[in-house]
Copies of this chain bind each other. A is one copy, B any other.
Amino acid sequence: MGEPISIAVVGGGAAGISAASMAKRTNPDATVVCCTEYEDVAYSPCGIPYVLGREIPEFERLFLIGPEQYAEVGIDLRRETSVSAIDLDNRTMTANGNNISWDRLIICSGFNYLLPEVEGNDVDGIVFVKNIRRGIELDQRLDSVKKAVVLEGTPLGVEMLAALAHRGIETHLVDPGSWLLSQIADADIAEPVQKSLEDLGVALHFGAELEGFERSGDGLAGVATSEGTIEADLCVVATHKEPETALARSIGLKVGSSGGIEVNARMRTSHEAVYAAGDCVEVPQGLTGIAVQGLTGAHAMQQGRVAGANAGDGDRTYDPVYVPWGMVGGNVQIGGASFGEHLATTLGIPHIVARANGISRARYYPGVQQVIVKLIAEPGTGKLIGAQMVGGEGVKERADFLAFALKRGVTLDDLAWMENVYSPPIGALYEPMSVAAQNGLAQL
């Protein structure tokens, strides 16, 4: 049994809830209070675009468990409770005007999509896809939307493009980059996703800088860009996820180069009694040590577990990240791990590129899909730097594999000679990752 300490968690998302749960599990004697400004906890915000796109029939499906279940495991969950101030000296915080004492604090304040600072940004029709209650309102609104713009081809942006197109809405992407998902994906890997979205009727406007919102009465009439104005009665802002650090900054916690709260490997901030986790923090990328933030819900959950364990007097470290990622864009799966070719070039990392147009099952088996694998490796040693993939199936599992392999310093030689399952309905004789590595060895 642990010390009878008090642990307070700010935030009820994936990081906050897992931090609270792990703190209580690590230290059953601890008092654990978890405050969220929102009405709801324990639902999947990542599912919202799929309900909006009618792939999932109702929002209720996104809820996992009811808030009452937290009380049963001894967590004092307070909903619609905003933390307005923290007093480090007295180890208290103010939540909805009440004073809450803590011995350890865990900040899981998440992220925001920033309202673009252009003319007309107060017009009705600019929406964010993040909170489920706002999602339910947006769902109703979509019934009368005719034309929509999605601002930026981020993962959420790509999901929303497909969702809006599925709803029969004329849909446009406005993106200042040169291709889809340009912050994470290479142009050649993103290309099949762009094609798939265009097949759904989406119009893609790249190299387009947002200049303003045009209004008609109270409502949105169009989105003005450097490439011209696009008529629209709805604009979904799906820009970069900005860490929410106002509370952390107010108590002087260090914030790092990417804008996230700095934490050490134990997820402790610059203050000895304060931990942080999730989209509000930054963590080191495994190969370079570069600070990264705005990762996935799975990362937030794991970071929350580490912060919660340590706040509860456990001892757990969070390793540098190799960031496996994957998603569906249109009808195509795209993903990868660590850096792609474009990012490696931008960062000045010397590299070779090894590519294979592989397949997911035996070439003659029904449902066989193309799986394109592109490996980025160190010249000379062949040590893997990153990977990008696009294809019909199996991208998520291969991204997990490659992130795991990257962490262990895998080389093209290791991958070229890896063992793989060969069974016609589920796996080809030649594993696409292995073929890409063999092609890379031929270059070394």
- Interface residues of chain A, those whose CB is within 8 Å of chain B, are 14, 44, 46-47, 50, 55-56, 61-62, 64, 155, 296-299, 301-302, 319, 321-328, 333, 335, 362-366, 394-401, 403-405, 408, 417-427, 429-431
Expressed in whole angstroms, the minimum distance between the Cβ of A428 and any Cβ of chain B is: 9
Question: Are A396's CB and B426's CB within 8 A?
Answer: yes
Known: A400-B420, A422-B296. A429 touches B44 (CB 8 A): yes
Expressed in whole angstroms, the minimum distance between the Cβ of A157 and any Cβ of chain B is: 14
Question: Are A403's CB and B419's CB within 8 A?
Answer: yes
Expressed in whole angstroms, the minimum distance between the Cβ of A54 and any Cβ of chain B is: 11
Distance A434 CA – B67 CA, assembled complex (angstroms): 26
Question: Are A421's CB and B362's CB within 8 A?
Answer: no
Question: Are B396's CB and A421's CB within 8 A?
Answer: yes
Q: Which residue of B lies closest to A297 (CB)?
A: B422
Copies of this protein chain in the complex = 2
Q: Which residue of B lies closest to A326 (CB)?
A: B421
21 CB-based A-B contacts, threshold 8 Å: A46-B422, A50-B424, A55-B425, A56-B364, A61-B364, A296-B422, A298-B419, A298-B420, A298-B431, A321-B419, A326-B421, A333-B426, A335-B421, A395-B426, A396-B423, A397-B397, A397-B398, A401-B404, A403-B418, A403-B419, A404-B404
Q: Which residue of B lies closest to A305 (CB)?
A: B417
Distance A218 CA – B326 CA, assembled complex (angstroms): 59
**Chain B residues in 8 Å Cβ range of A323:** 419
Known: A400-B431, A431-B400. A419 touches B299 (CB 8 A): yes
Distance A14 CA – B298 CA, assembled complex (angstroms): 41
**Chain B residues in 8 Å Cβ range of A335:** 421
Question: Are A322's CB and B419's CB within 8 A?
Answer: yes
Among A335, A403, A404, chain B packs the most CB atoms within 10 A around the CB of A404
Question: Are B325's CB and A50's CB within 8 A?
Answer: no
Distance A430 CA – B301 CA, assembled complex (angstroms): 9
**Chain B residues in 8 Å Cβ range of A14:** 429
